[in-house]
Structure 1
Amino acid sequence: MSLRLSTVILPYLRWHEGGRSAWTRAEQLGFHTGYTYDHLSWRTFRDGPWFGAIPTLTAAATTTERLRLGTLVTSPNFRHPVNLAKELISLDDISGGRITLGIGAGGTGFDATALGQDPWTPRERADRFAEFVPLLDRLLTEDSVSYEGDFYSAHEARNIPGCVQRPRLPFAVAATGPRGLKLAAHHGQAWVTTGDPKLFENGTPEQSVGAIRGQVEKLTDACVALGRDVHTMDKVLLTGFTPDRGRPLESLDAFVDFAGRHQELGFTEIVIHWPIPNSDFAADQKVFEQIAMEAPAQLR
């Protein structure tokens, strides 16, 4: 299977001052999917401009025709399944069925406390995620849903006419722990990883590949336990968080080597960050565009 190449465009630019042009250029370059982060703010961008993911993707849907669009990732940190389902159904309709929902348990940081709550422990995040995903699945596939859970409720929540994509838009579930991988195996059309965060600072690329291989094996085990063929799931690597950092974007050859090593692990999609000057995602735009246009042919 050929390896798909996608990009993630952070929502830090005003739409009419570079935001729109990035999405249209992503389609021109042939990317499979254009993703954006679903955060209220993010790390080093916290004190600068940052726009909402759903409105950004809605605008992108109206200015593109073929590019798939999605979040990478949405989390329960500040989302409720009932409201989110309605927005996703609307977005899927506006885009003509081009939406993928990247979804994860969330983490610490500004998003975790922006609504005034105390930060959740890893166990609490996992507990909420285990309830969030199945409820969202129901909301996107059933006309009316009532539910009373430990964390979320829905009372005759109507979602007519449902998604353009049937039975619903695809879920790309970000997970590395056993409970998250079980959710991915059960509800996901794709699985997402950024690698092993413990290796980011002092690990080696070889150690990273080994750790990711272990994650794939655990995903396989989760699928087997549910009677599912792991090959029916897409496997997505969001780059920029492995010990390689920005080196894969230094040249076409460097990227092809990096992507090829992960393709051998079973990955079907590699996501690279749209270059942002003076940031952790700085890269030569010309090299980036060369990778976009030429790498997929070399990775078939």
Structure 2
Amino acid sequence: MTLRLSTVILPVHRWHEGGRAAWQRAEELGFHAGYTYDHLSWRSFRERTWFGALPTLTAAATATERLRLGTLVTSPNFRHPVTLAKELLSLDDISGGRVTLGIGAGGNGFDATALGQEAWTPRERADRFAEFVPLLDRLLTEQSVTQHGDFYTADDVRTIPGCVQRPRLPFAVAATGPRGLKLAARHGQAWVTTGDPKLYEEGTPEQSLAAIRGQIEKLGKACAEIGRDATELDKILLAGFTPERNTVLDSHDAFVDFAGRHQELGVTEIVIHWPIPDSVFAADQAVFEKIATEAVAQLG
């Protein structure tokens, strides 16, 4: 099974002061895709420069030619399916059909309350996500959509001419719970995990591998319930949130070992963070670029 290697380029640089150069360098290094977080701000970057995801990806689309582009991930926290569909439709056109939408239920960070609402409970997030994804699917595949749901309404919405990618741009659904996995099975072209968050602080690499193996097995069962072959879905691991997060990018050999163990589980794409000095994503740029150019070839 061929493993793809992608990167996350956080929107922390002014476009003309390093932003454009990073996306272009990602393409030069041969990454399969360049993703970015779709947040209003994020954790330790709360008081630092942070630009919008979709304008950044649009700029990246005009600065690159082959690199796939996407969000890891968009959520309902501050998005509405109707406006998001129109923006994705435009981005897919501008990029020439190179967009993947990473999408998840969201969490309790700043995004959850920035628009003045109370943070939703996990159940409320799951309820909204269960309505958000199917409606967005319809909006990107049908030219006229009317739907009145519990949370989201589309009233005779037009999305002409549709996506460049047919029937629509791919969804990479981030999920670990049963309801989210069912959405991934039904609507996803890929599934996204960061591992088990309970193991982030004190878990072991072995426990993390076992947890991801279990997640993939549950995804397979969700696919089987609707008669879908789980091998149709790419399995994407966003690295940086597993117990070995602090050593994965220490050396080429460390990454190859990490990637190989996850490839054996069935992971088809690993996403690593573009180095950001003085942050949780600090890493040696030279080592990072060696990983980009040599690791996948070694894994086969």
- TM-score, shorter chain, exceeding 0.5: yes
Residue 276 of structure 1 corresponds to 276
Deviation at residue 2 of structure 1 after TM alignment: 1.0
The 3-state SS of whatever aligns with 1:237 is: strand
Deviation at residue 248 of structure 1 after TM alignment: 1.2
The 3-state SS of whatever aligns with 2:248 is: helix
| Aligned counterparts of 1:255 and 1:96: Cα–Cα separation in 2 | 32
Structure 1, unmatched stretches of 5+, are: none
The 3-state SS of whatever aligns with 1:50 is: coil
| Aligned counterparts of 2:278 and 2:63: Cα–Cα separation in 1 | 27
TM value normalised by structure 1: 1.00
Letter in 1 for 2:278: N
Q: 2:258 matched to 1:258? A: yes
| Aligned counterparts of 1:136 and 1:299: Cα–Cα separation in 2 | 36
Residue 48 of structure 1 corresponds to 48
| Aligned counterparts of 2:257 and 2:246: Cα–Cα separation in 1 | 13
Structure 2, unmatched stretches of 5+, are: none
Deviation at residue 232 of structure 1 after TM alignment: 0.6
Map of 1:189-200 to 2, 5 A cutoff? 189-200=189-200
TM value normalised by structure 2: 1.00
| Aligned counterparts of 1:220 and 1:162: Cα–Cα separation in 2 | 30
Residue 123 of structure 1 corresponds to 123
Q: 2:30 matched to 1:67? A: no
Q: Taking every aligned residue pair, what percent have the same amino acid on both sides?
A: 80
| Aligned counterparts of 1:154 and 1:229: Cα–Cα separation in 2 | 31
Deviation at residue 259 of structure 1 after TM alignment: 0.3
Residue 107 of structure 2 corresponds to 107
Deviation at residue 109 of structure 1 after TM alignment: 1.3
The 3-state SS of whatever aligns with 2:265 is: coil
| Aligned counterparts of 2:111 and 2:56: Cα–Cα separation in 1 | 18
Letter in 2 for 1:245: R
Residue 180 of structure 2 corresponds to 180
Residue 22 of structure 2 corresponds to 22
Deviation at residue 40 of structure 1 after TM alignment: 0.3
- Contact between 1:145 and 1:158, CA under 8 Å: does it hold in 2? yes
| Aligned counterparts of 1:181 and 1:246: Cα–Cα separation in 2 | 28
| Aligned counterparts of 1:102 and 1:90: Cα–Cα separation in 2 | 16
Moved more, 238-247 or 173-182: 238-247
Deviations 1:34-63 (A, max 9, x none): 000000000000111100000000000000
Letter in 1 for 2:179: R
Q: Aligned residue pairs: how many?
A: 300
The 3-state SS of whatever aligns with 1:227 is: coil
Map of 1:179-258 to 2, 5 A cutoff? 179-258=179-258
Letter in 2 for 1:30: G
Deviation at residue 193 of structure 1 after TM alignment: 0.1
The 3-state SS of whatever aligns with 1:183 is: helix
Residue 80 of structure 2 corresponds to 80
Letter in 2 for 1:253: D
| Aligned counterparts of 2:167 and 2:2: Cα–Cα separation in 1 | 26
| Aligned counterparts of 1:107 and 1:174: Cα–Cα separation in 2 | 12
The 3-state SS of whatever aligns with 1:157 is: strand
Q: Please tell me the root mean square deviation across aligned C-alpha atoms, in Å.
A: 0.4
Deviation at residue 246 of structure 1 after TM alignment: 2.6
| Aligned counterparts of 2:217 and 2:134: Cα–Cα separation in 1 | 24
| Aligned counterparts of 1:247 and 1:215: Cα–Cα separation in 2 | 23
Deviation at residue 299 of structure 1 after TM alignment: 1.2
- Contact between 1:246 and 1:283, CA under 8 Å: does it hold in 2? no
Deviations 1:69-125 (A, max 9, x none): 000000000000000000000000000000000000000010000000000000000
| Aligned counterparts of 1:47 and 1:286: Cα–Cα separation in 2 | 28
| Aligned counterparts of 1:103 and 1:10: Cα–Cα separation in 2 | 16
- Contact between 1:185 and 1:228, CA under 8 Å: does it hold in 2? yes
Residue 58 of structure 2 corresponds to 58
The 3-state SS of whatever aligns with 2:201 is: coil
